[in-house]
Amino acid sequence: DVKVTQSSRYLVKRTGEKVFLECVQDMDHENMFWYRQDPGLGLRLIYFSYDVKMKEKGDIPEGYSVSREKKERFSLILESASTNQTSMYLCASSLVAGDGYTFGSGTRLTVV
Amino acid sequence: RKEVEQDPGPFNVPEGATVAFNCTYSNSASQSFFWYRQDCRKEPKLLMSVYSSGNEDGRFTAQLNRASQYISLLIRDSKLSDSATYLCVVTFTGGGNKLTFGTGTQLKVEL
């Protein structure tokens, strides 16, 4: 089975801090994604990547950046954390276009 | 209008009941369709893909109606363990590999 691992299950950070969320997948998937999930809003796409060093903005990229230096690793960066970035962050990967995703177990980030 | 819409529920049903969820999508160029299941405080997991001819997996049946732009999920003989949120998911032509998620329908199966 594909495994998608997110480095932290729970994080508490202070406003203004730079935050790194790490995601690693072990099945050589080309495509990786970062979503955030909030009550009543569902999953919203932040950034995605189809290949190493490649990134594309999703629906809500403001306040975030990403890095994909290696195929298996896709990092989400909050440049200056704000309280409205308190959320559940979910990383996912897929092998081919139109395929279903495999998700990591999520990182619940609280910004205080 | 949201790209993918679902009734949030909750649907409260007794064990053994049959329950159906619908989901509508706005983009007629939609390509792929899925149902995901999400348990409380857990990540979404793929339940089943939805094909044009419909598909069945045990107690679960998924249907696609392209003309009316909706997909459905039918659960027969509901179990307590079916209690979860069910997410409708769509990909759109020109949207690359991205999945667009509905906000989910909550199901509670009760004794």
Chain centroid to CA A92: how far? Answer: 7
Token pair of A70 as six digits: 């290696």
Asked if pLDDT for residue B93 goes beyond 90, the answer is no
Q: What mean pLDDT do residues B49-71 have?
A: 93
Contacts of A104 in chain B (CB under 8 A): 43
CB contact under 8 A, B98 and A58: yes
Whether the upstream peptide bond of residue B10 has omega within 30° of 0, thus cis, is yes
Query: Out of B2-6, B65-69, B95-99, which region has the weakest mean confidence (pLDDT)?
Result: B95-99
Tokens 């509901």, residue located: B78
Q: Pick the more confident residue, A101 or A61.
A: A61
CA distance A48 to A34: 6
Whether the upstream peptide bond of residue A39 has omega within 30° of 0, thus cis, is no
B65 CB neighbour count, 10 Å cutoff: 13
Contacts of A56 in chain B (CB under 8 A): 96
Asked if pLDDT for residue B37 goes beyond 90, the answer is yes
Specify the pLDDT at position B17: 97
CA distance A1 to A22: 20
Residues 6+ apart with CB under 8 A from B7: B21, B22, B105
Please tell me if residue A2 touches chain B, with a CB cutoff of 8 Å. Answer: no
Specify the pLDDT at position B96: 63
Cα–Cα distance list, B2 to A42, B5, B101, B102 (Å)? 11, 6, 10, 8
Specify the pLDDT at position A45: 93
At A55 the three-state DSSP class reads: coil
A44 CB neighbour count, 10 Å cutoff: 16
Please tell me if residue B102 touches chain A, with a CB cutoff of 8 Å. Answer: yes
CA distance A7 to A20: 10
Confidence bin at B82 (pLDDT 50/70/90): very high
Specify the pLDDT at position B63: 96
Asked if pLDDT for residue A97 goes beyond 90, the answer is no
B73 CB neighbour count, 10 Å cutoff: 22
Closest by CA position to A33, among listed B85, B62, B101: B101
The rounded percent of chain B whose pLDDT value lies above 70 is 95
CB contact under 8 A, A105 and B103: no
Specify the pLDDT at position B3: 87
B93 CB neighbour count, 10 Å cutoff: 11
Specify the pLDDT at position B94: 64
Specify the pLDDT at position B28: 80
Contacts of B47 in chain A (CB under 8 A): none
Asked if pLDDT for residue A12 goes beyond 90, the answer is yes
Closest by CA position to A29, among listed A94, A78, A103: A94
Specify the pLDDT at position A98: 65
Among chain B residues, CA nearest to A48: B98
Asked if pLDDT for residue B95 goes beyond 70, the answer is no
Q: What pLDDT digit, counting tens, does each position of A41-57 carry?
A: 999 999 999 999 899 99
Specify the pLDDT at position A111: 98
